[in-house]
Amino acid sequence: MPVIDIAGRSLHYQDRGTGFPILLGHSYLWDSAMWAPQMEALSRTHRVIAPDLWGHGRSDAPPAGTRTLGDLAAHAGLLLDALDVRECAVAGLSVGGMWGAELALREPARVRALVMMDTYLGAEPEATRARYFQMLDTIESLGKFPAPILDAVVPLFFRSGADLSGPLPTAFRRALEGFSAAQLREAVVPLGRLIFGRPEAVQRLSALNAGRTLLMCGALDIPRPAAETARMAEAIGCEQVIVPDAGHISNLENPDFVTETLTAWLARQIAR
C-alpha cells in the first residue's frame, strides 16, 4: 500500500483504477479492505482511493492534536492534496461517513457527491455513549479486547440474528483480538472517544447539497438504526436507501445491492 506523511505519521491507503476519483472511508475497527467488493467493481471505471483510518490496517496512530471529526476530514483533504485530486465523490460508512460529511461541508467544491452509509451525525445517545466509554476504559486498562467485550461488540456490526460463527464475524473477532496494546491505547481508544463523544451536528447537515447526497442504512443495523438515517435525510432533504438483509457493515452483508446502488447513483452524479 502507498503511504503519505501527515504531521509525522504514516497514513496508508489503497489507490486503484483510473477515471473520476472516489474516496472511500471505512468503519471504526475495520480497515480499507472492508471495501473489497465495491473497490473491485468501482475501480473498473473510476480511480478508487481508500485510506486506512489512523491506528487501523497499516496506518500509524493519529497525529497529536487529533480530537474531532473535523480533524479526520482535514487529514482526508491532505491525502487528496497529495494525490492532486481536486474533485471527487466520497462514500463513507460509520465513522467514514462522519468525516466524509465534514469534508463535504468544509470543501463543497471538491466533493461533487457524498454517500453516508450506516452513520449518524447526531450526538451518541447517552446510554450507549456511557456503555461504549466504559468498554473503552476497560480496553485501555487491559491493552486488549477481553472476551466479554468481544461478545458484546462483534454482534453490533452484523444484522440482527446473524450467524456469528460464520466466516465474516469470525474473521472480524480475530482482527479485534489482533490489535496490539499500543494500537489500542494510542489510536483505537482515543478515536473511539472522539467518535462516541461527538457533538450534535444533524442540523449542520442542512448545508449539504441535497441533490448530491445519498444516505444508505442496513435495514437491520443495530447501533445505527434506520430512524437515525431518516432524521438526517429530513434535515438534508436528500434521498435515502434502506439496504435489505444487512446490519451495520451493510456493504459486506449485502454487497451486491450496495455495489449496484453505489455504481448507479455515482454514475448519475458524476455525469452531471
Domains annotated on the chain, with CATH: 3-122+199-271 (3.40.50.1820)
Rounded average pLDDT over 147-160: 97
C-alpha span between 128 and 196 (Å, rounded): 9
92: confidence class by pLDDT, cuts 50, 70, 90: very high
Q: In the prediction, which pLDDT does 271 show? A: 86
177: confidence class by pLDDT, cuts 50, 70, 90: very high
Q: Check whether 1 has a pLDDT greater than 90.
A: no
272: confidence class by pLDDT, cuts 50, 70, 90: confident
3-class DSSP state for residue 153? helix
Q: In the prediction, which pLDDT does 269 show? A: 95
Rounded average pLDDT over 157-179: 96
C-alpha span between 36 and 26 (Å, rounded): 11
Q: Check whether 47 has a pLDDT greater than 90.
A: yes
| Average pLDDT value for the chain | 97
22: confidence class by pLDDT, cuts 50, 70, 90: very high
Rounded average pLDDT over 106-113: 97
Rounded average pLDDT over 168-175: 98
Q: Which three cell numbers stand for residue 142?
A: 487491559
Rounded average pLDDT over 73-82: 98
257: confidence class by pLDDT, cuts 50, 70, 90: very high
- DSSP states along 219-239: TT-SSS-HHHHHHHHHHHT-E
43: confidence class by pLDDT, cuts 50, 70, 90: very high
Q: In the prediction, which pLDDT does 183 show? A: 97
Nearest to 9, CA basis, from 69, 67, 75: 75
C-alpha span between 200 and 82 (Å, rounded): 31
pLDDT over 90, % of the chain:
98
Q: Greatest CA span in the chain, whole angstroms?
A: 52
Rounded average pLDDT over 158-163: 94
User: How does DSSP classify residue 261?
Assistant: H
